[in-house]
Amino acid sequence: MSIFDLSGSAEHDEFFGSDAARRALSVTAVETDFVNGVYQNLAKVYDYTFGPTLHAGRLQAIQRMSIAPRSRVLEVGVGTGINTVLYPKDCSVTGIDLSSKMLEKARTRLARKGIRNVRLLEMDATNLTFADDSFDIVYAPYVISVVPDPVAVAREMHRVCRPGGRIVVLNHFRSRSRIGAWLETAIAPITPYLGFKSDLDLPAFLAQADFTPVSIEKVNVPRIWSLITCIKE
């Protein structure tokens, strides 16, 4: 179920109005080397800290992808490869990540599980080396609030997705409640050391990335994560 009725003028203005297009995405700025260092350190414990608690959202995202046989899927921020066991065996998956230690864990997982339809590449999500329209589905799980430039990543995701393909973003965004938003903004300078930015502005992200979602859903418990599905025109 969509959590927002984007057809209403107030909601549409909030998500796609000129104000959203100009707003800062976050109060916190991070550099690529900093993010890479954090996730190099998190590689050993990621599966235990972020694995079970965020798994329901991963399952729902796979459902929303409607992966057909022989689909070409790109996972941006594959991490330790938690999602790799969820994909149908008759699709082709490419997983990229900036962290070499995360990818080491992912390769170990693929070998242990006997997964053969996934290839792993070390790559910066803001500079994908794939040709335009290369994938049927482009998926970013829990990564948009991690990267230094979320809009650059989104635009690269859009570029490599074929027309009519799906772009799926699973991520935490700043709360729409006044108290929740205040708290998330207050702790924002600290949360990058834990691997994410707590105050990423969803309407600003959508407007600046030029994403028009067909659905936005709340997932996980508590429901503070959003699952966004877009169709590339």
Local structure of 92: helix, strand or coil: strand
- The answer to whether the bond into 222 is cis (omega within 30° of 0) is yes
The one-character DSSP state at 131 is: P
Inter-helix orientation angle 150-160/202-209, to 10°: 50
Helices (H), the chain: 9-16, 18-22, 32-42, 46-49, 55-65, 100-113, 150-160, 178-186, 202-209
Cα–Cα distance, 220 to 52 (Å, whole number): 10
What global pTM score does this model have? Answer: 0.89
Local structure of 76: helix, strand or coil: strand
Average pLDDT score over residue span 179-191? 88
The amino acid that residue 93 corresponds to is V
pLDDT at 4 over 90: no
- Which one has a higher pLDDT value, 8 or 34? 34
For the ranges 143-147, 151-155, 192-196, the one whose mean pLDDT is highest: 151-155
Superfamily of domain 9-231: Vaccinia Virus protein VP39 (3.40.50.150)
The ranges assigned to domains in the chain are 9-231
